[in-house]
């Protein structure tokens, strides 16, 4: 079963690769961990 992940910045669904890696990034740890999609990740890196 595939868990659907949503970007915490824009709310869009974060895609995963066939290896199960997300097309985006995690920020933080545990309960405070946030997920950002690849597009929002680019914004973070600017």
Residues lying near Zn ion in the complex (CB under 5 A) are found at: 7, 9-10, 37, 40
User: Nearest Cα to 35, choosing from 1, 17, 12, 2?
Assistant: 12
Q: Which is nearer to Zn ion, 1 or 21 (CB)?
A: 21
Position closest to Zn ion via CB? 7
Q: Which is nearer to Zn ion, 1 or 23 (CB)?
A: 23
Q: How far is the CB of 30 from Zn ion (least distance, A)?
A: 21
Q: Both tokens of residue 2?
A: 């595939």
Which DSSP symbol is given to 41? H
């Amino acid at each position: 079963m595939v868990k659907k992940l949503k970007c915490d910045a824009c709310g869009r669904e974060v895609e995963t690769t066939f290896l199960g890696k997300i097309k985006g990034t995690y920020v933080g740890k545990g309960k405070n961990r946030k997920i950002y999609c690849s597009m929002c990740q680019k914004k973070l890196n600017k």
